[in-house]
Structure formats: C-alpha cells, structure tokens
Structure 1
Amino acid sequence: MRCVFWILTIFLVLNNVVAFGDDPKQAARSLVNWGSFDGALSDNGLPAGWDVYPVGSTQYDCYTVTDVSRSPPRGLRVASRVPWTRVIAAQLPVEAGTQQAGKAWVRSIPGSDCEWLLRIDYLNEAGVTIGSSPTVSLRPPQGTGDAEWKLIAVEGNSAAFPQAKRLIFVAQQKEGGVAVWDDFDFRQFTASDETNLLNNGGFELLAGNEFPGWRLFTTEPVDVRLSPIFREPLRGWLSVRIVGEAKSAVLSTNRLPIKSGTGYRLGGWHSAVAGTGQFKLVFWKEGMHIATVRSTKPARAEWSASDDVVAPAETVRDATHVTVEYEMSGKFDVAVDALRLRAE
C-alpha cells in the first residue's frame, strides 16, 4: 500500500511578479479595485465596486481594520452569523477568448471556526448565474483559530459558458467564522489554445497548502509539511516544489476516466536543485494496473520541458483510467509545472 515518507516536504512555489517571458496571466493587470485595501473606501466601507451579501443584513460584520493585515495598512475583517457571507471583490464584463484567475489571502481569528470558499460565477445578460469555476474551499482544523495567512487561488474559463456576459469574483465565509482577508487579485488573460484533460495541471488551484486534484504517496509512513515560499514559477502564479529523501515518492492525480481505443500524450516542465524525477502515465483497468509509460529526459537546474510521454492506443486499448504521476527517489529538490494531458 502506498503511504507518505517521514522526511518528505512539499513547498508551494509562488510569486506575484512577472516571472517567465510574456506569460499572459502575469502580464495581465489586476482588475480588483484596491485589493489590499490601501486606497479610498466607499460609503459601504469597502473599495468602489465591492459588495457584500446578503445586502442589508445585520447578521454579519464586514469592515476594514488596521490591527491585522497582510499588506498594511488595512485588511478586511469578516464575521458571519448567516450560513454564508459573500464578499464580491470584482464585477466585470466577460472578455471574449479569455480565461480568468483570482486569489486572496485569509487568516482566522484565534478562537473562531472558519471555512472559506473562492470561485468565479458567470452570469447571462439578465444577471442570472449560469455556471461557476471550480470552487476551492479551505477549512483550518476545527477550533484551532489558525492565525497563519493562507492563500486560496482559483481559475475559470468563460468558454465553458458561451452565454456569459458578466462575471463576479466571490469570496465566501461560513457562519461562525471570524477572519481577516487581504491581497485580493483577479485577472482576465488570453485563453490557451492547448487542450488539457488535467483540471489542475498548472497547479493554479490552491487551498492553503493543498493542490486540488493532486496527492503525494511514498513507500513508507511520512509526516508531510507544505508551506509557501517565494520563487519564480514557470507560468502563472504557482508551481509545486518537492523536497525530501525516499526510496520512492510520487506526486499523483486521482484516477481519471479515459476512452478505450485512444492514445494519450503527457507533457510537462520541471527543474531540479538536487536529484531529478520522471513524468509517468499509469493505466488501469477496473482497478488493476495494466501499463506504465515514463519520460526519460532528466530535470536541469533551470526550467526545462520533459520529453513527451506517449502511450499509443494499441498499448492501452483495454484501459479505463489513467493517473498522471511525477516520481522521485533518493535525495531530491525538484519543481514541477505546466503539465498537459491530451488524447490523440
């Protein structure tokens, strides 16, 4: 049985500045008005263009504070006494041919029990919500009142909702929680024309220290620690860094359903301070392993593209599922980004 190794550590790799060529997300400007609450406030106590729902309710507090902030001088304190308090950080027209991405930092107030959500809602011409991005949720251990700042990040693609005319960038906080939010950022950027069957192949969806859709396994029991560090990602805001020593450590997706009689190709980028790793496609039929295909090109100190992992249709014709994996062994300090899986 797979489990995680004792001294393995995973770091979140992120940056807020242009980091790699003309990456469209990095090149786009933030569309949140005063996302760090360092500018003028409107009559509702929030920057212009912001709203809080339910409108007019007395069952929540939502106001800026100066005693707790990630980027002084202010943060946004939210205390919810309704099932969910919704903070709208941006309300914008949808631009054709674009993807969207948003992020925000949040921390709970000691003694409170918090749960947070971040998502992008897409609205039609009548203002009715017709769809949403994947919702990223985060909940600290109950009763801990974890005061550490945590990052939540979400991505969406308006192409999934052709009737969408407007969008809203939404942060939600569950009843009973008291928290401070800061450093909201939201961008629209040119959509990629690359087909990708992975939901989080660029590691741009993040809930605190977890990347939705990815898990870590090793051959021995482990205490896994994840923490944010600042280092240039390959693309976008985030990459994942994996540091440790193990006989075998594997970063893996869940099992993804595939079409029989179809070939698949995986591409990805990696870099290594120490050791290296291999990209893999692992194929399954009704829970039984039937085939594995690996990359051969080792990681270098700088970001480099791996050779594509190609699984011809005749090799995996009986497979029903596939996992995308990155495997390391020995001592390693590697970073991975921009994985792309497509059928061919």
Structure 2
Amino acid sequence: MFFEKRWVMIVCIGFFLVSFSTSIYFAISNDSTGYVIKVLAERSFPFENIILEGIPGLAGPEQVKIDQLRKQAAGIGMFLLTGVNISDARTYFLGYFAPPRDGPYWLGWAYNPQDPEMEGANIEPIENYVPAEPAPAKNDEDILVGIYHTHNSENYTGDDSGRKDHADGQGDVVAVGKALAETLNKKGIGTVHNTDINDKEFMSAYSRSINSAQKLLKENPTIRILIDLHRDGLPPEVGKGVVRLEDKNMAKILFVVGQKNPHWEKNNQLVKKIIGVGQQKYPGLFSQNPNYALQARYNQHLSNGAVLLEVGSQLNSPEEALNSVEPLAEVLKECLKQ
C-alpha cells in the first residue's frame, strides 16, 4: 500500500512538472517570458514544496509545513495551469475558458473569473451592432462617466470581519462605485451611479445588467466612459494584489475586455489608454495586461467607451479597495481631458 501511494504521488508530481515545463516552453516560444516571470513572482509560487517533497526524516513541524505548502501549490498550480479556481465552481467546466489574444498560448493564462458569463438568450445578436457616438458635452454638468454593477453582491473579505464573499443585496463593491462617483463629481467630472441589483440569479446577471447599462446611456447620452465595476475572485492560495502608494495599501486594478464584440478593439484602445496614464501617475496600481475573453462581451458592445473594471479581489479589505478610488478617479479625469 505504501509503495502504491508513493507511485501515485510520483506520477502526479511528474505530470505537474511536465505540464509546468511545457507551459513555460510555450511561453518562451511565444515571446512572453517576461510575463510568465512577472506573474509567478506576483503569485509567490511555492517551488520549495516540489523540492522538499518526499525527503525522508522530516520532523513533525517540518512535515506540517510541507503539507501546507502542498495545499498551497495545488491551489496555485491548478489556477495557473488549468485556470480552475477552487473558490469558483463555474471554472470547473471548460466552457469557462477562452484562448488569449496575447501572452502565453496555454489554458491557464486565459482564465477570467467571469469568462464567459451567461449573458442570456434574450439579448439581441450583435454581429452588425454599431454603438451610437456620444453626444457633444455642452457644459460642466453633462455626464461623462456612468457606473453600474453586474455583480452588486460582491464583497471584500480581507479585513477578517467574517463577512461572506457575497452579500444578500448590495455588497462592498457598490460602496466602491459610490465613492468613485462622488470623487469624480468633486473633480468636476459629471458621473452617475446606477445601483440596480442584477445578480439575484448570478449566472444570468448580464441579462439584467445590460438594462442598467442601456438606461445609463439613454438618460445620459454624453457618457464617454461606461464602467461595469467589479472585484476579482481568486483562490485564497494565490493571494491578494496590493500596491503601496502614498503611504496606503491599495487594491490593484484589472481590466477585462470582451472580444465577442465586433468593435472590441475600440474598447481595448480606451483600456490601454487608461492603463498607460495609470502607470505614469501611479506605477503598479493598474495591471499592465488586461484579461481578454474571446467568448464574452460584458455589455461592451453598447459603447466604444464601455469597460469592465475590477478593483482588487475578495481577498482585499474594503479599505484597500476604497484607497484605490482617488487615484483611479484622477486617472480617468486625465484620460477624459486628453
């Protein structure tokens, strides 16, 4: 029995190493080595678990540490190599993966927490959909930014408050949206915030949030940037993304671009513009590589200025997420000025 378990363990470790080595090979061959190194460094992958595995004579405390590292490696390894998030049951199915446009050509890097969301059969086809150009802004009171939430219930749990990942109703992410709207308005950027609850039935949330997005655009035709504000969802083993700026811990900001949209390149141009300004003003706050979802659109077909923006993940604290609001607002203001 002992040798059978050891044999199974060796096979599993061997498969993991072969898969990992293959992924690195494809990453290097596709000129994305720097991206691989960057992500691995950010995720603190526990290579020591692989090195120490199977060494005889370990004391009790050492063995406990190795067991903890093994669980951590399993969570991170599954996330990186297959895109499966053990904290998100939707990712257990291959239908939730899409090949990336940029970066390494293997499954793990294509993972998006909402990729692709079930947008519902009642949404019109968009093969020939042409979004309307925003109306000219005539005065300082015209609305330039609209904010809504497809997943209103998303919470931040990194403050050890005991709150759940999702609230019954409005979650912490809505408070972040409110703070962003208030901050932009104080900076002279007319902003409206829609708080319609869209995720009572989580898997069909986009069937509802499209109504919120269309309502914002119809009532405020001068909107230049339409933000679907979320927070990310990550395996606990991966760890949260935080950057220290202005003596504050801030949640990192990530953009997701839906490519099931004939005009996705225009949305992508805006995203790249925001990231570029953000990198100049607040280095490290914005993830430099957006996530691309080949089989999703995230309502971005409605406007060439529509973006899906994730402020941190459930592993961040509400304070870290709110600390990111001021610099995010400043970057959006700068982009609108340009």
| Bigger share in helix | 2
Structure 1 length normalisation: TM-score?
0.25
Structure scoring higher RCO (CA < 8 A, sep ≥ 6) equals: 1
| Bigger share in strand | 1
Structure 2 length normalisation: TM-score?
0.25
